[in-house]
Amino acid sequence: MSYSQPDSSTTFDKAVILGQIPFEMEDAPSVTIPLFLDRISAGFPSPADDYIEAELDINRLLVKNKAATFLVRVGGDSMINAGIHDRDILVVDKSEEPLHDKIVVAVVDGEFTVKRLYMKNGKCMLVPENPRFKSIVIGPEQELNVWGVIVGVVRKM
Roughly how many angstroms between the first and final C-alpha of the chain, as a whole number? 40
Residues belonging to the active site: 78, 115
**80 vs 20, 25, 32, 99, 105, CA distance in Å?**
19, 25, 29, 21, 15
**Per-residue DSSP letters for 16-72?**
-BTTBPPEESTTPPP-EEEEESSPPPSSPPPGGG--EEEEEEHHHHH-S-GGGEEEE
- The 3-class SS string of 105-133 reads EEEECCEEEEEEEEEECCEEEEECCCCCC
Contacts of residue 123, Cβ cutoff 8 Å, sequence gap at least 6: 137
